[in-house]
Chains A and B, each alone.
Chain A
Amino acid sequence: GESVGLHLPTLSVQEGDNSIINCAYSNSASDYFIWYKQESGKGPQFIIDIRSNMDKRQGQRVTVLLNKTVKHLSLQIAATQPGDSAVYFCAENGGGGTSYGKLTFGQGTILTVHP
């Protein structure tokens, strides 16, 4: 079936830099996108989401950008901190019909923040 993928499997940054994690999706019917953070040994944790009627949404130190034309999603983390080191997953929901509760994840990007 259609799936969500990531361009970069690993990303290393210096503390204080801004980080950008990218995600490409293939299902043009997807209308809801989510970013999760997973620290080692723990379950994923919700960071931020965006619906397809928006192209940008901001949270605390994080911004999600959605480009529906090229089916691309990105997560920007401002002033990255060592505590941001984790695996980041994007996920998409295929929208209406029989897919309301279905969630498809990308493979993940490992973010490493160096002090």
Chain B
Amino acid sequence: EAQVTQNPRYLITVTGKKLTVTCSQNMNHEYMSWYRQDPGLGLRQIYYSMNVEVTDKGDVPEGYKVSRKEKRNFPLILESPSPNQTSLYFCASSLSWDYLGEQYFGPGTRLTVT
């Protein structure tokens, strides 16, 4: 089944404790992206990757890191999480940036930072 998977689905952590949210797709997609969703603010793009080893900042990259060492994986790293990073996070992928809109979204990761 074609899908985007994220792990963990739920995470409660404390301020400053490094964490990684994994994202994996099995569709051989070139483009991958991370978003956060907050009430009243909609979805905001954190980082995106056009292909392996190519990553770029979205609208809200501060406090996050990403890497794209292999095509299928695009982990989101929070080196020192803070309470304002409490949010619902979505990973997404598409065939390429030419098909930017036709993104497949993962099920989401709900992160709480206390």
Residues of chain A touching chain B, judged by Cβ–Cβ distance below 8 Å, are 1, 32-34, 42-46, 49, 89, 91, 93, 98, 100-108
B67: chain A residues at CB < 8 Å are none
With CB as the reference atom, state the residue of chain A lying closest to B90.
A43
User: Contacts A102-B58, A105-B45, A107-B41 given; 10 further ones with Cβ under 8 A?
Assistant: A1-B59, A42-B107, A43-B92, A46-B101, A89-B43, A91-B101, A93-B100, A101-B56, A101-B97, A105-B44
Asked if B33 CB lies within 8 Å of chain A CBs, one says: yes
Could you tell me if B90 and A44 are in contact, using CB atoms closer than 8 angstroms?
A: yes
Could you tell me if B42 and A105 are in contact, using CB atoms closer than 8 angstroms?
A: yes
Asked if B102 CB lies within 8 Å of chain A CBs, one says: yes
B100: chain A residues at CB < 8 Å are 32, 34, 93, 100-101, 103
**Given contacts A43-B108, A107-B40, are A101 and B50 in contact (CB under 8 A)?**
yes
With CB as the reference atom, state the residue of chain B lying closest to A100.
B97
Within 8 A of A (CB), among B53-91: 56, 58-59, 90
Q: CA of A65 to CA of B32 in the docked complex: distance in angstroms?
A: 27
B68 to chain A, nearest CB (A): 12
Could you tell me if B101 and A107 are in contact, using CB atoms closer than 8 angstroms?
A: no
| Neighbour of B45 across the interface among A32, A104, A106, CB < 8 A | A104
Q: CA of A42 to CA of B50 in the docked complex: distance in angstroms?
A: 24
Q: CA of A49 to CA of B99 in the docked complex: distance in angstroms?
A: 10
The 7 closest A-B pairs by CB, nearest first: A43-B105, A34-B101, A49-B101, A105-B43, A107-B42, A101-B48, A105-B42
Could you tell me if A104 and B59 are in contact, using CB atoms closer than 8 angstroms?
A: yes
B90: chain A residues at CB < 8 Å are 43-44
Asked if B103 CB lies within 8 Å of chain A CBs, one says: yes
| Neighbour of B42 across the interface among A32, A42, A89, CB < 8 A | A89
A54 to chain B, nearest CB (A): 13
Subset of 22 A-B contacts with CB under 8 Å: A32-B100, A43-B4, A43-B92, A43-B107, A43-B108, A44-B90, A44-B92, A44-B105, A46-B102, A89-B42, A91-B101, A100-B50, A101-B49, A102-B58, A103-B33, A103-B45, A104-B45, A105-B42, A105-B43, A107-B40, A107-B41, A107-B42
